[in-house]
Amino acid sequence: MTDPTRWRISSFSGQNGSCVAVAELGATVAMRNSNHPDRGTLDLTPSAMAAFVDACSAGEMDDLA
């Protein structure tokens, strides 16, 4: 059976295959490792996802890379 969920990967993802995929799942936004989709998802509320994206954009997580 095919997964009908529309997973999206950023155009900024690296060429080495290290990608995070995101999808809207009802009232949550799911994130998963596109290389290992069978390992589960991290499900966030839309406001938590927005805070995560804002923090990444502001460089607040650069020290983790």
Type of residue numbered 9 = I
Across 34-65, b (16+ Cβ under 10 Å) vs e yields beeeeeebebbeeeebeebeeeeeeeeeeeee
pLDDT band of 54, cuts 50, 70, 90: very high
Domain for residue 64, yes or no? no
Percent of residues, the chain, with pLDDT higher than 70: 89
Identify the pLDDT of residue 57. Answer: 92
Domain for residue 3, yes or no? no
Per the structure, the count of domains in the chain is: 1
Domain for residue 65, yes or no? no
Write out the residue range of the structural domain in which residue 13 sits: 8-59
Distance CA 27, CA 39 (A): 21
Q: What is the pTM of this model?
A: 0.75
- Alpha-carbon dihedral of residues 38, 44, 46, 49, nearest 10 degrees? -90
